[in-house]
Every structure is written in structure tokens, then in C-alpha cells.
Chain A
């Protein structure tokens, strides 16, 4: 069974740091782009960052550039999101998602269950 399990969320003060992890199983992790997508309480989905199979390419939404770093360890089938200089507006459930692909199409499937990050003093 293809599965993604996030961990590492919690309560952090503004300006603080947190590292999220996503453990993948049931598929060849090193063959897929991976993404982080977040959802603020009561709000819609917002893509945060993604990373190529070998980690050589990374893309970020403008609001997290310079503060968040996406990385992966293919030997451990794991995806990470290092979040620094956290702000109240980063409060959200963070999902990791595998990027399926076919010819010129990509999509998110599956998604993990999410981990809640709360930035508050």
C-alpha cells in the first residue's frame, strides 16, 4: 500500500524553527517528485515546495523562499521541510504528497494525513 506519514508538527513561537518529516512506503520513493502542501485553518490549499527525484531541483512558493528548505533522503524514503523564521501566517496543516506523472502531466497522489503546525506566542 502506498503511504505517506507526516510528523514533526507542533506549537512554536514566532521566529522559531521546526522540521517536518514525511515517511514514504509502498513505492519507489526515489522515482518521484515530492511536494509539501499546506492548509491554514478553515482555508484552502496552498502549495509550499517541491523537490526533484535526486534533489537537484527545488521550487518554492514566494512566501516561504529564504525561510523554508525542502530536502529528501532517498536511502531513508523520507521527505523533509525545514521551516525557519516562522510567522503566524505559517500556521496550517502541512501535507506531503507524491507527484504522479505521465507524459506532460503531473498530479498529487497520494497525500499524507497531515501534521499541524501552530505558530503562536
Chain B
């Protein structure tokens, strides 16, 4: 049972816009920034969005992040086949002396 809650799966057709939600609490998302990671099959995770809505250099602007209260969302517009991957949200949690928490991950399928 992950501290941050994500839907286990999402899907869309090429060109569509999909969103992935991430729900937390006041001790994590409610008081700290949210990051998103993309994990392509058989590879290490890669930073996709940091500080709620910032894209690292090289990440297409099709990817965007937002946060409101104790929830966050990742949006992918103009869906492409290479976007098929697992997506994880993460945030620092201030409880229990502090620790990082992840969502359980969302497997995105491009139909």
C-alpha cells in the first residue's frame, strides 16, 4: 500500500490527452513539492517533472504537471507510442522524521 495513491493504469490513443492523478496528504503533497518519473520498460526511472510543474531540459512540453492541495496531476498531450511507460509521483513526507514517498505507479498504454 503506497502512501501516494495513483490509478494502476491509464490508456489513450495517439494524439489524445491523458491525465494521471496522485493523491496524498498534508504531510507530503500538502506541504512539499511533487515530482514525476517516467520508467520505460527495462530501464531506470527518469525525472519527468520536478517542483510540481517544472520540466527538465530535454523533456517535451507535451508533459505538464500541476498540484492543488494534497493532490497532483501529470498531463500528457499529443500522446505518442513512445510514451508507453510506468509513471510515478513522489514527494517528501514530513512525518516520522522525514522520508520520501512514492505513488504505486501508473502503467500507461497507448492503444
Q: Which of B2, B37, B99 contacts A108 (CB 8 A)?
A: B37
* Shortest distance from the beta carbon of A50 to any chain B beta carbon, whole Å: 7
Interface size on B, residues (CB 8 A): 27
A37 to B44, alpha carbons, bound, how many Å?
A: 11
- Nearest B residue (CB) for A95: B44
| Dominant secondary structure at the B interface | strand
Q: Are A108 and B102 in contact (CB under 8 A)?
A: no
Q: How many A-B residue pairs have CB under 8 A?
A: 65
| Dominant secondary structure at the A interface | strand
Q: Are A102 and B51 in contact (CB under 8 A)?
A: yes
Binding stretch for chain A, among B17-25, B68-76, B77-85, B88-96: B88-96
Q: Can you list 8 A-B pairs with a CB-CB distance of less than 8 A?
A: A104-B32, A105-B33, A105-B51, A106-B33, A107-B33, A107-B50, A108-B35, A110-B46
